[in-house]
Amino acid sequence: MATIEIDGKSYEAQPGQMLIEIADANGIDIPRFCYHKKLSVAANCRMCLVEVERAPKPLPACATPIMDGMKVYTKSSKALAAQNAVMEFLLINHPLDCPICDQGGECELQDIAMGYGQDVSRYQDGKRVVTDKNLGPLIATEMTRCIHCTRCVRFGEEIAGIKELGATGRGEHTRIGTYVEKTVNSELSGNVVDLCPVGALTNKPFRFSARAWEMQQRVGVSVHDGVGASVYYHTRRNEVMRVIPRENETVNETWLADRDRYSFSALKAEDRLTQPMIKRDGQWQAVDWETALTFAADGLKQAVQKHGAKQVGSLVSPTSTLEELFLLQKLMRGMGSSNIDHRLQQLDFSDQAQAPVFPSLGQSLTDFEHSDAVLVIGSHLRKEQPLLNLRLRKAAMRGAKCAFVNPVAYEFNLPVAQQLVVTPNDWVSQLAGIAKALQTSSSNSVNGLDSLLQNVSVSAEQQAVADALLSGERKTVLVGQLAQSHPQFASLRALAGAIAQLSGACLSYTNAAGNTSGAWLTGCVPHRAVGGQAESAAGKNALEMLSEGLKAYILMGVEPELESCVPAQAERALKQAEFVVNLTAFRSAAMDAYADVLLPIALSAETSGTYVNMAGTWQSVAAAVKAPADVRPAWKVLRVFGNLFDLAGFEYEDSTQIQAELQPQLMSLVADNAGSWKLPSSLDTAASQGLQAITELPIYAVDMVVRRTAALQDTQDALSAKGVHLSAATAASLKITDGQAVQVQQGANTVASTAVFDERVPAACVLLYAAQADSTALDSWFGDVSVKPVD
């Protein structure tokens, strides 16, 4: 511990800290542009110059380590003279175009120029002009305004792990950009907009639509992945204008994924449903809420009377709030049916009784970041959970060994110790090999594993993964979405559990959405009620509901024909049903075909509620804006449904009452993933004829909101998630050329698509992307397919 004096007052500091950190921690204002607490120190803007006693010249506070007894003056005449001079230099080339600049009013340069700038410029020569760059659909540029702080460059290099922007040229000729005409493709690219201290990089979809002082700031939660990033909605006249990160060290730090930042624009999507609709004699008509609700309740009651409550099922999106999820399952169970599920992307439910109370990360995100070894099983983590991947990257850069078992040779932005690229059929045997390797070298043991693995042999790669997992103190085995949707998920879970136990690792799961944990906790699964209590008789799971076909469905926030892992079956099941009630924020042609009632519900920004992320963190928020027209929050709709069915316990007047009821029961529940699995009796190895399908739900198609975000659909990630991806060798054996029109067949279903050569895909496999026009007519995400050229 050292003591330093700033402006005459003493402060405690840790040796090695920089002056600016002590000043920031104690509320002492030092102007700066290039310094950012999450980025490396560049010390190139020189704005934070301060006077240090016995130093001959002013020193940059961001790059001056403290020393015991140091005396610092941040507002002395020497310090101020230095700061004013730097400001004058920075303004030489900066255009004074604040009135037409999007950053105006929230600009660090503008603010600091007010305090340190001259009112008149002494500069009389020509100013530098820089051509703008086209960085893609998310970031707008006005590079003449750039002051070369290099925050955006350092962000790409240090945080996003993919350096796309750089500073080329030198001195007067320095330019920030990509040098060649190229879009910025990182899934975290929007953060450079926040980092840019001037108006050089601005939010393209938001451009010229509002001024900072016109907007109000409301707290929110992003629901598009399991991290549940904390956001601020900036609203003006009851309209969300943009989204920025809310600093939350335990969740998203200061970052947002582009999916979190830009998806709000779907609030105003063209196909937004704003009025209740019912289908009478095959004709859709807009009606008032009372008519719609009565019509829906009557239809459901009839179905129950005719076929019994067990013929009613409900599919719900884990992006819904805890309160909505709770009321929906309460309604379903009140009607006498436990057919409720949020796991639309799961194929194997055989071990659901063994599943943890809520499958989660099982540790805090901060703890995850401090892992020394991580084995990721089945996840395109960078695109699936961008902010979790950012934490993993930090661990890897610190030296943690990261190993992956994946169906596709994904590219990573972090050092990978080992990546096993495994066809879907070989997953079980690969994990068994890793478990066997651990068994021989680990002091821990797992009952019954010996006999299960007796015929398993260990390859060198498997041994390498095992060795990586045995090094270090803190370890994690992370089961991703691709594993959770695998047809042998139960075996994979058990082997992952065994691997975790043998290596002393924490068994972790990624969550598909911002409230997947909440869906488990509230009993939005067929075999467990609220709080994970086992049901005496389990209802039907999502797969059974869609493959067997029920007489009536209640859908909330889902498009099963797109996002279910049995898309074609889902559409068939919904179409054959007698009555489908759809609580949805949007309307689509598919819904028109299968639904009987469309009830317009509010989206995340428009509804109050609670979300539980994959680390078990609870976040409760109020509605940022009022829902448009006749749209109502789903919890209110469900509450009325409860009354229409004469069910007790639906007398809530406010969503916070529901939360108050749930919190004491649920918040104390701890996710214990360890031991929540059961070894299979044998290691089934699947065999295939033909090609094995691998289906990935691409980053910008995960839920109905993201699918309707125009800006995201124009990104490279969205544009490349199309077609049938296969390696050149596989294609050659099928006589297919790159870009050729092909027909994909699975069972009796065929779809027309285009071949894309992709060397990441293993031999005898094809990679398809879910929720795209050329994949949704298939019966299942996995299983055998054949591909043939179309003449």
**Which residues are near another protein by CB under 8 A?**
157, 162-170, 178-180
Q: How far is the CB of 155 from another protein (least distance, A)?
A: 13
Residue type, 187: E
Q: How far is the CB of 731 from another protein (least distance, A)?
A: 17
Tell me whether residue 54 or residue 170 sits nearer to another protein (CB atom).
Answer: 170
Strands 784-789 and 741-746, bridge-based pairing: antiparallel
Strand partners of residue 72: 6, 52
Tell me whether residue 9 or residue 170 sits nearer to another protein (CB atom).
Answer: 170
Tell me whether residue 174 or residue 749 sits nearer to another protein (CB atom).
Answer: 174
Radius of gyration of the chain (CA): 28
Question: Closest by alpha carbon to 365, among 505, 501, 504, 227?
Answer: 227
Tell me whether residue 89 or residue 179 sits nearer to another protein (CB atom).
Answer: 179
Q: How far is the CB of 169 from another protein (least distance, A)?
A: 5
Question: Closest by alpha carbon to 465, among 424, 434, 500, 496?
Answer: 434
Residue matched to tokens 């500091």: 13
Q: How far is the CB of 397 from another protein (least distance, A)?
A: 12
Q: How far is the CB of 152 from another protein (least distance, A)?
A: 12
Work out the number of other CB atoms within 10 angstroms of the CB of residue 670: 11
Q: How far is the CB of 531 from another protein (least distance, A)?
A: 49
Q: Are 316 and 604 in contact (CB under 8 A)?
A: no
Tell me whether residue 143 or residue 162 sits nearer to another protein (CB atom).
Answer: 162
- Sign (positive/negative) of CA torsion 588, 589, 592, 594? negative
Q: Which long-range contacts (CB under 8 A, 24 or more apart) does 33-38 make?
A: 33/90, 33/108, 33/109, 33/112, 33/147, 33/149, 33/151, 33/197, 34/62, 34/149, 34/150, 34/151, 35/62, 36/151, 36/154, 36/195, 38/159, 38/253, 38/254
H helix or E strand, kind and range, residue 460: helix 460-470
Q: How far is the CB of 739 from another protein (least distance, A)?
A: 16
Tell me whether residue 160 or residue 492 sits nearer to another protein (CB atom).
Answer: 160
Tell me whether residue 162 or residue 529 sits nearer to another protein (CB atom).
Answer: 162
Tell me whether residue 162 or residue 644 sits nearer to another protein (CB atom).
Answer: 162
Q: How far is the CB of 168 from another protein (least distance, A)?
A: 4
Q: How far is the CB of 180 from another protein (least distance, A)?
A: 6
Q: How many CA atoms lie within 13 A of 772 on its CB side?
A: 25
DSSP per residue over 356-415, as a string?
Answer: -SS---SS-HHHHHT-SEEEEES--HHHHSHHHHHHHHHHHHTT-EEEEEESS----SS-
Tell me whether residue 38 or residue 163 sits nearer to another protein (CB atom).
Answer: 163
Tokens of residue 712, six digits: 């995201």
Tell me whether residue 178 or residue 189 sits nearer to another protein (CB atom).
Answer: 178
Q: How far is the CB of 135 from another protein (least distance, A)?
A: 13
Q: How far is the CB of 399 from another protein (least distance, A)?
A: 12
Tell me whether residue 180 or residue 537 sits nearer to another protein (CB atom).
Answer: 180
SS3 of residue 208 by DSSP: coil
Q: Whole-angstrom Cα distance, residue 597 to residue 589?
A: 14
Altogether, the residues listed in the chain come to a count of: 791
SS3 of residue 479 by DSSP: strand
Q: How far is the CB of 692 from another protein (least distance, A)?
A: 26
Tell me whether residue 357 or residue 395 sits nearer to another protein (CB atom).
Answer: 395
Q: How far is the CB of 162 from another protein (least distance, A)?
A: 7
Q: Whole-angstrom Cα distance, residue 49 to residue 354?
A: 60
Strands 552-556 and 579-584, bridge-based pairing: parallel
Q: Three-state SS string across 679-692, please?
A: CCCCCCCCCCCCEE
DSSP per residue over 575-598, as a string?
Answer: HH-SEEEEEESB--HHHHHH-SEE
Question: Closest by alpha carbon to 659, among 616, 612, 729?
Answer: 612
Q: Are 606 and 631 in contact (CB under 8 A)?
A: yes
Q: How far is the CB of 179 from another protein (least distance, A)?
A: 4
Tell me whether residue 162 or residue 538 sits nearer to another protein (CB atom).
Answer: 162
Q: How far is the CB of 174 from another protein (least distance, A)?
A: 9
Work out the number of other CB atoms within 10 angstroms of the CB of residue 290: 10
Residue 674 burial (C-beta neighbours within 10 Å; 0-12, 13-18, 19+): middle
Q: Whole-angstrom Cα distance, residue 536 to residue 521?
A: 17
Tell me whether residue 39 or residue 605 sits nearer to another protein (CB atom).
Answer: 39
SS3 of residue 478 by DSSP: strand
Tell me whether residue 115 or residue 169 sits nearer to another protein (CB atom).
Answer: 169
